[in-house]
Structure 1
Amino acid sequence: MPTKSRRDGSYKPGDNFVFAGQCLDDRAHQGTWTAPDDGRPVLLVSLGTFYNKKPDFFRQCVAAFGSLDWTVVMSVGNHVDVTDLGSLPPNIKVHPSVPQMSVLSQATVFVTHAGMGSTIEGLYWGVPMVAVLQAMDQYVNAARIADLGVGRHVPQEEATAEVLRDLVVALANDEDVTRRCAEIRQEVRRSGSTAKAADFVESCLTRPKAD
């Protein structure tokens, strides 16, 4: 069992505790996405599934990225009508949802709400992130993204078209961020998996019971 440290009040895991790391499946059931064969960078924009009723934010994204020579994939959820976003430039593709892991595997930058799931997926694929904070754990996650050197964060009310564009372009051209994303990607992938968690559970089942 975990044992309590007398010095700082924290808990030290015992031998029946393991950090299994991220447990991601292949998401094949969500389908796949393939980037256009034109060599342009890919930008994914998504606010997740709970705090995505933000047509004003997505309009800022259209204004920010419509003139970039990028392929922009925007996942806007089921509560934003594409017609609410105005005229869309040809480089911006808007969908209610996308196979996020598939898109991230080909993305250059990820504009995200910094929910835990999306943050881990961004780290897994080594994609620099612009975190636009919405609520709950996203504030902590966004701060950690910046601390790790793999992205930047901005409060929702400050996420204007100009700010978003500048952050995305800066991250895409920052060699230090690229290096850190590659390092963290390797670390995340080495840290464990669903298989590691399952192996540990099975090993616990075969251990002799304590008296």
Structure 2
Amino acid sequence: MKKVMIFCIPAHGHTNPILPVAKELVLRGNAVRFYSFNEFRSKIEKTGAEYISCDSFLPKLSSEQEKNLKEVSASEMSIQDIRITINMTDFLDKEFREFAPDVVYSDSACFWGKLAADKYHVPLVVSTSTFAFNQLSSQYMKSSLKETAGMLFGLPKVNKELRRLKKYGYESRNLLSLVSSGNDTDLVVYTSKNFQPYAESFSDRYAFVGPSVFSDAQPQKKERPIVYISLGTVINDRPGFYRNCVKALRNEPVDVIISCGKMFDPQTLGTLPDNIKIHPYVDQLDVLSETSVFITHCGMNSVSESLYMAAPMVLYPQTNEQQAVAKRVTDIGAGIMLVDDSAEGIRSAVRKILNSDGYAKAAEKCCHDFRSCTGAKGAADHIENAPNPSDGKDVIKALNKAIAAEQVIYSGFAVLLGAVLFRKRNKKFLWIYILAAVIFSGAVKNKFQDIYYKKLIIR
């Protein structure tokens, strides 16, 4: 029997995949303490784990901070995570001394779980509710100008908070090392190797277990198509979008189910046609098992559940992380991007999915792949065996060595070429050459990285 501490942030998308894993750990006879928040208490207690409330450690937020969190500001989320960690210091010290855990299972965005495991020298396994990200797979994430500016302007505040951690006995890290994991860390990723971008670049300490779900349902599509619409549990107060969906599909030969969350008042849509129903929440897996088209915000859980139930998608991502998930769905041919969210654009996208068998077949193929994974049982194995052995192969380290050599060669060539070109010429254009060389350096690096990566994984 192992004593397991589980930590998670107050978010449905991060908590839900951990729940089947917690239940599996309990069924195996492990002592499991789940540190979470009262909103999730009922779900957690149903797993058999001991629920420990952390609500009292949440900082009081200003209206501006609440607004930033609702908009999924990376810098604001990091700042609040650090403050929660500091608020929990004395409590966690007592918990770790009294419970003496054998292993910590912490969500990837949960700083207090990861930092505490390091502070008390307890083996850590990280729960990854989206893709595993490194320098290769992160190419799937394209931040908007607003997201990039928000992170850059917020970084000084984040660094100020990070420096405070050292006073409380935590290792003071930079933000990147705190939010990411290397190949020497144990991770559970809730997707398959086939769906994970650049899966071969991760060490065997990464367990790709597939979707972690509570459902025995099988895909069973209705003769009359069902279109299911959900924007998740965070950025879902979108009355204009819901109105366009109603307008787009009210006269179509489909039944429509909209899950709008608790922030939106369905009454504002007025009287709905008979073929459209709207609810604050639904049993998403049950609905998806009968769905022919899913219009989704592309949260990893929603997309995984959709593919688990062989439902192709119209993709409407709202954040850079969701953009990455959406790109992967289009890669495998199981969905299309919604580039026009007008009524006409929505209607056209839905018709395109319904009128082409290719999307449904791609979703079905992924469904079989997901269902062949180890799921919660594989995750529990990985946690119980932590720290897990490794074969020592690290594609990223080998890749970085090659890139460093390539950059030295490129820089030398660029300097030599510049010396030849501008030795006897007017040097007023030299700065243009330098700027072009720097910009081109990034493109050359990325191209070399992709080529050399393919060579490494073939070996």
TM-score range, shorter chain: 0.7 to 0.9
Counterpart among 264, 284, 288 of residue 80 in structure 1:
264
Correspondence 1:179 to 2:361:
yes
The SS at the match of 1:144 is: helix
Counterpart among 351, 365, 373 of residue 191 in structure 1:
373
Deviation at 1:192, TM superposition (A): 2.4
After superposition, the Cα gap between the structure-2 partners of 1:206 and 1:152, relative to the gap in structure 1 and judged at 3 Å, is closer
CA RMSD of aligned residues (A): 2.7
Give the match for residue 18 of structure 1: 207
The SS at the match of 1:18 is: strand
Deviation per CA, 1:69-98, whole angstroms, max 9, x where unpaired?
211000111122122113311100011111
Deviation per CA, 1:127-173, whole angstroms, max 9, x where unpaired?
01001121241111111111110001124xx3111111111111012
Q: Quick one: which amino acid aligns to residue 49 of structure 1?
A: T
Deviating more after overlay: 136-145 vs 64-73? 136-145
Provide the rounded CA distance (Å) in 2 between the counterparts of 1:152 and 1:134: 15
After superposition, the Cα gap between the structure-2 partners of 1:164 and 1:206, relative to the gap in structure 1 and judged at 3 Å, is closer
Give the match for residue 440 of structure 2: none
- Partners of 2:210 and 2:375 within 8 A in 1: yes
Runs of at least 4 residues off by over 6 Å? none
Q: Quick one: which amino acid aligns to residue 203 of structure 2?
A: P
Q: What does 1:2-41 correspond to in 2, within 5 Å?
A: 2=183, 12-14=202-204, 16-26=205-215, 39-41=223-225
Provide the rounded CA distance (Å) in 1 between the counterparts of 2:322 and 2:382: 30
Provide the rounded CA distance (Å) in 2 between the counterparts of 1:20 and 1:139: 22
Give the match for residue 162 of structure 1: 344
- Partners of 1:44 and 1:110 within 8 A in 2: yes
Counterpart among 268, 276, 289 of residue 105 in structure 1:
289
Provide the rounded CA distance (Å) in 2 between the counterparts of 1:73 and 1:24: 21
Provide the rounded CA distance (Å) in 2 between the counterparts of 1:142 and 1:54: 19
Provide the rounded CA distance (Å) in 2 between the counterparts of 1:168 and 1:124: 20
Work out which of the two has the higher radius of gyration on C-alpha atoms and give 1 or 2. Answer: 2
After superposition, the Cα gap between the structure-2 partners of 1:110 and 1:200, relative to the gap in structure 1 and judged at 3 Å, is same
Deviation per CA, 1:11-62, whole angstroms, max 9, x where unpaired?
5514x4432222112399xxxxx99xx8421110000010000000000000
* TM-score of the pair, normalised by structure 1: 0.81
- Partners of 1:27 and 1:101 within 8 A in 2: no
Provide the rounded CA distance (Å) in 1 between the counterparts of 2:284 and 2:388: 38
Give the match for residue 122 of structure 1: 306
The SS at the match of 2:252 is: coil
Provide the rounded CA distance (Å) in 1 between the counterparts of 2:243 and 2:372: 39
Q: Quick one: which amino acid aligns to residue 210 of structure 2?
A: G
Structure 2: state its 5+ residue gaps. 1-181, 185-199, 390-459
* TM-score of the pair, normalised by structure 2: 0.39
Provide the rounded CA distance (Å) in 1 between the counterparts of 2:310 and 2:278: 23
Provide the rounded CA distance (Å) in 2 between the counterparts of 1:117 and 1:12: 21
Give the match for residue 143 of structure 1: 327
- Partners of 2:382 and 2:388 within 8 A in 1: no
- Partners of 1:43 and 1:110 within 8 A in 2: yes
Correspondence 1:62 to 2:246:
yes
Q: Quick one: which amino acid aligns to residue 127 of structure 1?
A: A
Deviating more after overlay: 185-194 vs 111-120? 185-194
Identity, in percent, stands at 34
Provide the rounded CA distance (Å) in 2 between the counterparts of 1:11 and 1:141: 18
Aligned residues: 191
Deviation per CA, 1:161-206, whole angstroms, max 9, x where unpaired?
1111111111012121122111111111112200122234445589
Deviating more after overlay: 38-47 vs 52-61? 38-47
Q: Quick one: which amino acid aligns to residue 94 of structure 1?
A: I
